[in-house]
Each structure stands twice: as structure tokens, then as C-alpha cells.
Structure 1
Amino acid sequence: MIVRFSVQNFRSIKERMEISFKKTGLKGMPTNYFEGPSKTSLLKTAVLYGPNASGKSTFLKAFKALEYLVLSSAGFKPDQAIPPYEPHLLDTAFREQPVEFRIEFFGGDHIKYELELAFLEKEIVREEMYYYPNGVQSLLYQRVQDKDIKFGDGFRGAKKTIERLLLPNQLFISKAAENNVESLLPAYRFFGQGMMVFPFLNENHESNLTRLYARRLAEEGESGFSRKLNALICALDTGILAVSAKEVDEKSFKFPDHMPEDLKKKIKDDFKYDIRTAHPLFENNKIKGKELFDVEEESTGTKSLLVIGGIILDSLEAGRVLVVDEFEKNLHPSITNYLIGLFHNPLTNPKNAQLIFATHDITQLASGEFRRDQIWFTEKNEFGATELYACSEIKGVRSENPLDKWYASGKLGATPIINDVDFLIEMQENVPEETE
């Protein structure tokens, strides 16, 4: 579970911007937060609003960048560029400065960890990890460019061996986990098992996830996940009676003669199952039976619901942190509101999964689903840099205020300013004069 996350000098974000899941002193809506380890009250959801290109997606991409570095940097080759190095380019003082991430979270061992790192295009400048075994901060390791790594008393496992193997562009936590360093595994596993990050869901992502859930429906037909996914899809007014998966006939695969056999096998395995939806079949206005459809015949909204429903159930079942951008696309606002509410309901979220997402759907501000410390806004300042602030930080805003109307009117900031004077002038330049 996440406590806070901050980003500096990454894409549109210049100065350090932080989002916090720590509950503020605001009262009300007790099901929207929970008591985590060490009696830390944490919020279950956070939503980001702001105009296009204001930095909402950038902030969510920072989660993905950090996840990628922790899980993958051990495999970087010598002199390989670090892909997430994308410094802020609209200020010359920042163009060659390090990108910085900092995250505070609880691992699967219920101990709080802090990981902070700064990196350039091809090297890690700083990497520090602390933990709180008894509620008191204690160093695990500290790595500073061109210096020996400093280890704390709580670090157990190989030190000098990993330090000698470590390349400048690799994270120590990534290399240490590769070598099974026990004291860092709970923190490492958080990034692989405790988070699910989807900074954007395009058709390719949705196709991959559809195949994943097709396999799970086919191979885990009686599992809790399959039953819950069926119940969720059928409950949300889709007209669907059941969702299942059918094995694809191997004869339907057509490959070029020169394609390697191992590649053919992989494709057959990836596309082994197709999802089927069952709809009621009527005769004389009475249900006679059911008709099966391929999921591709369903509406765009139903296909999106299948994907986001699966992602949400995955996070709820495991108590994961779900990070996703604009998951409400193609969904009715009432369905979006219901899916968000699954995180706030103790019955559907007993493991305290957390959700952070970005949206343009202001109807959610009118639903009364969020506390003010769960609502965040992004906007660009006059220098083209992202600024981030919580609704609870705005003076004069109360829970009873019509936040959707205030936001739409610009009273809360973070709305687009449209200056179309030059555009209208251009549009009129070639308009022919009227003749009598």
C-alpha cells in the first residue's frame, strides 16, 4: 500500500510534486480510508483532474517508470541508456539534471519502506532505501555516485559481490533481488506484486488483457476470480447472462511456411482461447435459451468493461495498488461510479486495495464518492511546468459545495483557458465579402 509518491524533473513536471494517501484531519466518509500498519490512516482512492496536457498522465507514467526500473534495470547492458530519463525540457536549467522519484510504501511484511532515486541518461546518481522495522527509520543502503555503497545494520545478504557486479545504469535493489538478497525482497516484491500500473489503456493493452482474462476464464473456470468477473459483467446492465472462454481450433491458424516453429507455438499459446458472451434467446417474448457471441461482437463499452473489470478484481483480490489513466472511457458515468465505489466498500475491498486514476468525468465530483483530500488537480503554470494540489488545500471549499459545478466554472482551477481570438481572425481572413 502506498503512503506517498513524489516526482521531480520528469517530462512536464519540473519542481518536486507529491501526491499523498495519508488521511488529513477532514472528518466524514470513514469507509474511504483504512488504518494501515503502524496506525497510519490511508486513503483508498485518489483521483486526478486537469485539462489536457496538464500533467495528469505524466504523473501516472512516473509510477510506471519507477516500476520498470526496479523490475528491469538488473538486465540493462553496459552503457545502455535508461529509458525513463525524460527530464523537463522547457527550462534550460533542468534539461541535463537528474530525474528524481521517491516512494513511501508498506511491503507485504507490513513494514514501511522509503525508496528514493535520482538518475541521468546512463547512470544512477543516488539511490537510498530506508525501512521502519519498529516504527523508527533505519537505513538499509545508500548509494551515491562514485562512492562506495553504505549499508545499514538491517541489511542482510551479499554486499561487495553485488556492488562489484552493479553497472552504473542499474538499480541496486534490482540487482540485489536478482541475487536473492533477503532483506530487500519484501520491498522488491511490492513493485512486482503489490502494484498494477496502466498509465494508458490503448487497443494493444486491452487486447493483451483480454487474452489474459480469456485464459483465466478457461483454465480457472471455477475460481473466485472467474465467478466474480462473471457476476460483475452480468450485473452492470450489459444484457449478458454469462462470460466464458472457448478454445480456438488450431486449424484456424494460418502461418507462412518460413515462420519458425517456436514462434508458431507461442502465437497459438497466446491466442489459445476466445471469450464468449451468452445472451438470452427469445421466442414469443419468452426466454427459450441463450445465444453465444464472440466478445469482438460486443460494444466497445462492454469490451472495455471486461478489461477494466478484470483489472479491478485483480487488485481487490490481492489488495494491490491500481494505477490507471482514464479507465472510465467508453463507460457510463453510473458504471464508473460503481466501480470506484468497489474500493470504498469494505465488503468488496477487505484487503484495502488502493486506486489512483486520472479522469475528465466531472460527474464523479457530484456523486459524493470522494473526500476532498482524495481529489487532486493538475495544471500548467506560465512556464509550462505541471503544478499539483489537493482540493483539501483550497481555502473556502467545503464538503457540501457543488464541486462539479465549481470545477466546471474554473473556481477550483485546473480547467483549460481557451483564447480563440487569433483563431477567429484567421478563420475570417478568407471569408468572401457579401455583395448586394
Structure 2
Amino acid sequence: MLIQFVAENFLSFKDETVFNLIATSDKRHPDHINRNNSPNIDILKIAAVYGANASGKSNLINTIEFARDFIIFGTRGDETISTIPFRLDSDCINKPSKFQFLFCHKNQIYDYGFVVGKNQIYEEWLFIKSNRNFKRMYERITTKAGKNKYEFGPSLVRKTSKKKYLRYSYEMEGTRVNQLFLTEAFNRNIHEIDPVMNWFKYTLVILSPNSRYSALELRAKQDKKFNKFLCQLLKIADTGIENVSTDIENLDFNKQFPDMPENIEKQIKDSVNNDKGILISDGEKQYAISKTDDNKLILVKLKMQHKGKDDILIDFKFDEESEGTQRLIHLAPAFADLLESEKVYFIDELDRRLHPNLSKSLIELYLELHIKKKNRQLIFVTHESNLLDLNYFRRDEIWFVEKDKMGTSHISSLSDFKIRSDLNVKNGYLKGRFGAIPFIGDIERLGWLK
């Protein structure tokens, strides 16, 4: 679970910005807290982020996504690092950006972070919490000359383990100035850091407003439990869909992909197995390809069934459904995953294309089904003010993002404000009590009414 994220000098976050998910002493909704005895820390399971358009809400998620992707994919050769420092202050443009994650994974708390510029990593560190203190796994500083100065801690390797210590030192010294050691160590099979990298690769999931779940057709075909969850969700949402199934079509490359090179066709045939299919794209459409028990390749397509006259089920293609229904279907895997596994989901613009009541129902579903599960988190960005209700959330779960006159984004929690326990948070927010709403100028000054 994410405990805290810190960013500085990236996108609209000029100053050090802290997004903290440690529970306060608020007594509301105690079931919203993930209580850990080992380690002893209380972490929030859900958070909602509000703010005006262009306030920096999405930048919070984009910043986390940049750091995650840089950790996972790294760089090649002398590739420039695509950092985006704060641009509205000339003093910041040539300064490095800072990213730091404090998170809990497999009952261990890690502190991982780095300071990075366009051409190099300046600092990098990884600590693991032991009892009350954090112990170094490694620290690294890269000089302007490109030399790695570093120190390992016994949590990673002891100096008495001479062979291993020499090997890890060799890998550190050979890490390029534009590459994180965490990325390099994972690629070089230094397994002590596997839990850290696996958290970024498999636990931390980020969905943009236009995210599409790429394995949707194959999962609907192969995962009966997910298919049942999806059908129930669509019924609860009153979409009119009675059932979701898959259509199977024999794959004929000469007919369906006549221009595909033979070597690509062979790669596809070699890649598909009976357990998992693959996805390919022709630049316009995405195709799900699977294999039957008798080793025949097939195309898998989603099929929605609506009830027509005399209760007859009528088939509809996925593309024939409304944009709101399509968005809901692509969000369904996130909520299914949160039921089944330990995940941290960031969803930008949860309410995109969704009716306000449907957005509310999704959160109610999470609070009813998921909140009792341990080691799950949902952090979402929204404009939906109907969710600003202390009957749904604790004060420390509601966050606001606001941009000042200099274009710098600042984030704050409702728990930072002194409010009455019976306050109508929605009304207070819409009246600007917590900031994070647009300032609308005088329309007459625009001259539109003349």
C-alpha cells in the first residue's frame, strides 16, 4: 500500500508536495483503515482528489505515473530523461526533479526515491524499515563527472559476503548515469530488490481518463468469475445489458490480415498458447487472438445481450454501446482486481462519461465490498461533488488541489481544515471554503453579451 508520495519540481508541483495516506486520529469509518501490527502503521484504503480544471489534479497522477514508468522501463544508452520541471519559474527549469515513495509491501515498509535531471540521476536511495528505524539497503550519488558514489547496507549485502559484495559493487559502478540502480539491479537479477520492483510493476496501477483494459475480451472469455462480476456490475448500473459473452471467429490471416508480413504472422502463431491469448493492433483496431483446444487460432470479440420484445435477448457489439457503458466496462477489471488481489489503483477522472449516480454507485460498491479487504487502495480524481459527504469518507480521505497565482499546484486534505463534524462538506467546497474551485471572472468583461 502507498503510505506517502513526495514530488518536487515536476509539472505544476514547484515546491515539495506531500500526498500522505497515513490515517489521522479521525474516529469516523474505522473500517477504512488498513491496520498493521507488523509494521505498526494505519494506512487509508481510499482517497478522493478534487480541484478545479487545470489545478493539477491529473498532474498528481501523471507525476506518479512518470516515476513508476521510469523505474520499470529505465533508459537506453545515452537517452535523454524526459523530466518535465516546473516551467513558470526560470530558476526551476535546469534544476532536477525529486520523487519519493513510502510504501508497505508484504509486511515490509520501504522508502525509495531519486533526484533526476535531463541527463542523469543525481541521487537515489532505498531504505527498509526494521523495528522503529529505517535501515539502508543502498544510497547512491552521481557526480557531474558521471561517477557513482555509493554505499550498501547489510539489508542488501554485507561486506563480509565478499563475492556478492564485489558483484553488487561492479553492477553499481557499471550503472549508467541516466539509469536507476533499482532498474539495473532488477535486470541483473539482484533478487533482494525484487519485492520493491514488483510493487511498482504489479501492485501500483494507474488508469487515465482514456484507459482501455487491453485484455478485456480474453479475460471475459477465460475468467468466469470476472465475467460474472462484470454482468452483475452492468445490471446494477442499469445499462440494460443482461449478459456479456464472447463471439468466436476462426482466424484466417489471408482474409483478415492480408497485408501482414509472414514473419509477423509466424511470431503471432508462436506466441499464442491455450492458457493465454495475445493482443495485436493494426493501428486502428485491437484484436484479441486465442487458441482452441485443437490448436486453431480464433478472434475473440465481446458480445452484449439486451432484452428485447418478448424477453428475447438481442446481441450488440461492444462499439454499439454508449461511451459511458464502454467506460464502465473498462473500469470493471480494476474493481474486480481490488476484490481478488492486493492492488493500489489510481484512477484519473473516475466520473469521466459516467452519470453522477453511477459514479456514486461505483464508490458505494467499493466501500461495501472492498473496504473490508486488507492491503487494497483506491485513489481517484473526480469532480463529483455528491461524494463530498462525511457519511462516505473520513476527513483525511478527501483531498483538494489548488493552483496559486504563480501557477504552482498545492495539495491539502480536508483534515487540514478546522471544521465541524456536522458540516455539509459539499456546500463548503462549492462555496470555495477549501479552495480548489475555479474562479469565474466577470462575463460582461468578455464582451460576449454585446
TM-score (norm 1): 0.88
Match of 1:153 in 2: 154
Partner of 2:182: 173
CA distance in 2, matches of 1:308, 1:98: 35
Greater shift after overlay, 57-66 or 362-371? 362-371
Find the partner of 1:309 among 318, 332, 341.
332
Q: Partners in 2 of 1:414 and 1:48 — Cα distance? A: 10
Query: Residues 328, 410 of structure 1: CA spacing in aligned structure 2 closer, same or farther, 3 A cutoff?
Result: same
Quick one: structure 1 residues 359 and 347, their matched pair in 2 at CA, closer, same or farther if it must change by over 3 Å? closer
1:183 corresponding residue in structure 2: 192
1:398 matched to 2:423? The reply is: no
Report the Cα distance in structure 2 between the residues aligned to 1:31 and 1:349, rounded to whole angstroms: 7
Letter in 1 for 2:78: D
| 1:302–1:327 CA distance, 2 compared to 1 (3 A) | same
Counterpart Cα distance in 2 of 1:258 and 1:346: 48
Deviation at 1:358, TM superposition (A): 1.0
Corresponding residue number in structure 2 for 1:192: 201
Q: Identity percentage over the alignment? A: 27
**Paired position in structure 1 for 2:439:** 417
Secondary structure of residue in 2 paired with 1:378? strand
Distance 1:257 1:247, change over 3 A: closer
Query: Is the partner of 2:126 in helix, strand or coil?
Result: strand
Secondary structure class of the residue paired with 1:345? helix
Show CA shifts across 1:383-405 (max 9, x none): 1111111111012x133211111
Letter in 2 for 1:405: N
Q: Which amino acid aligns with 2:393?
A: F
1:129–1:141 CA contact under 8 A, matched in 2:
yes
1:254-300, Cα deviation, whole Å (9 max, x unpaired): 567554134454448646321111222332xxx2x322211111111
The 10-residue stretch of structure 1 (152-161 or 174-183) with the greater mean CA deviation from structure 2: 152-161
Q: Which moved more, 1:265-274 or 1:248-257?
A: 248-257
- Aligned pair in 2 of structure 1 residues 150, 404: CA closer, same or farther (>3 Å)? same
Q: CA deviation at 1:34?
A: 2.0
Q: What is the aligned partner in structure 1 of residue 354 from structure 2?
A: 331
In structure 2, relative to structure 1, the CA distance for the partners of 1:384 and 1:253 (3 Å cut) is farther
Deviation at 1:231, TM superposition (A): 2.0
Determine the structure 1 residue equivalent to 2:81: 82
RMSD: 2.2
Counterpart amino acid of 2:174? L
Partner of 2:98: 100
Query: Aligned equivalents of 1:239 and 1:346: distance in 2?
Result: 23
Rounded Cα–Cα distance in structure 2 between residues aligned with 1:318 and 1:306: 19
Query: Which residue of structure 2 aligns with residue 260 of structure 1?
Result: 261
Q: How does 1:234-383 map to 2 (within 5 A)?
A: 234-251=235-252, 258-263=259-264, 265=268, 266-267=280-281, 270=288, 272-283=299-310, 287=311, 289-345=312-368, 349-366=372-389, 368-383=391-406
Q: In the TM superposition, what whole-angstrom CA distance separates every residue of 1:38-74 from its partner, at most 9, and x where no partner exists? A: 231111111111111111111111111111011111x
The offset of 1:421, in angstroms, is: 5.8
Gaps of 5+ in 1: 432-436
Match of 1:133 in 2: 130
Q: Is the 8 A contact 2:4 2:102 kept in 1?
A: yes
Establish whether residue 61 from structure 1 lines up as the match of residue 62 from structure 2: yes
* 2:241 partner SS: coil
Whether contact under 8 Å (2:11, 2:63) holds in the other structure is no
Tell me the distance in 1 between the aligned counterparts of 2:99 and 2:56. 16
- Does the Cα contact within 8 Å between 1:317 and 1:351 map onto a contact in 2? no
Q: 1:434: which partner in 2?
A: none
Indicate which of 109, 119, 124 corresponds to 1:122. Answer: 119
Relative to structure 2, which stretch is displaced further, 415-424 or 123-132? 415-424
> Contact 1:343–1:352 at 8 Å: present in 2 too?
no
User: Bigger CA drift: 334-343 or 307-316?
Assistant: 334-343
Q: Per the alignment, do residues 138 and 342 of structure 1 end up closer, same or farther by CA in structure 2, a change over 3 Å counting? A: farther
Secondary structure of 1:13's partner?
coil
TM-score, L = length of structure 2:
0.86
Distance in 2 (alpha carbons) for counterparts of 1:362 and 1:2: 25
Moved more, 295-304 or 247-256: 247-256
How far apart are 1:88 and its partner, in Å?
0.3
**Residues 4 and 101, structure 2, Cα contact 8 Å, conserved in 1:** yes
Shift, 1:325, TM fit: 0.5
Q: 1:368 to 1:253 in 2, by over 3 A?
A: farther
Q: Return the alpha-carbon distance in structure 2 between the equivalents of residues 367 and 138 of structure 1.
A: 39
User: What secondary structure sits across from 2:7 in the alignment?
Assistant: strand
Distance in 2 separating the partners of 1:348 and 1:381? 35
Shift of 1:348: 6.3
Aligned counterparts of 2:70 and 2:412: Cα–Cα separation in 1: 27
Q: How many residues are paired up?
A: 411
CA distance in 2, matches of 1:102, 1:298: 41
Contact 2:45 2:371 in 1 (8 A): no
| CA 62–349 in structure 1, closer or farther in 2 if over 3 Å, else same | farther
Verify the 8 A CA contact 1:173 1:184 in the aligned structure 2: yes
Letter in 2 for 1:201: P
The Cα of 1:225 is off from its aligned counterpart by 2.4
Unaligned runs of 5+ in 2: 158-163, 269-279, 290-298
Q: CA deviation at 1:92?
A: 1.4
Paired residues of 1:279 and 1:292 also in contact (CA < 8 A): yes
Q: Structure 1 residues 373, 347: CA separation in 2 closer, same or farther (over 3 Å shift)?
A: closer
Q: 1:253 to 1:367 in 2, by over 3 A?
A: farther
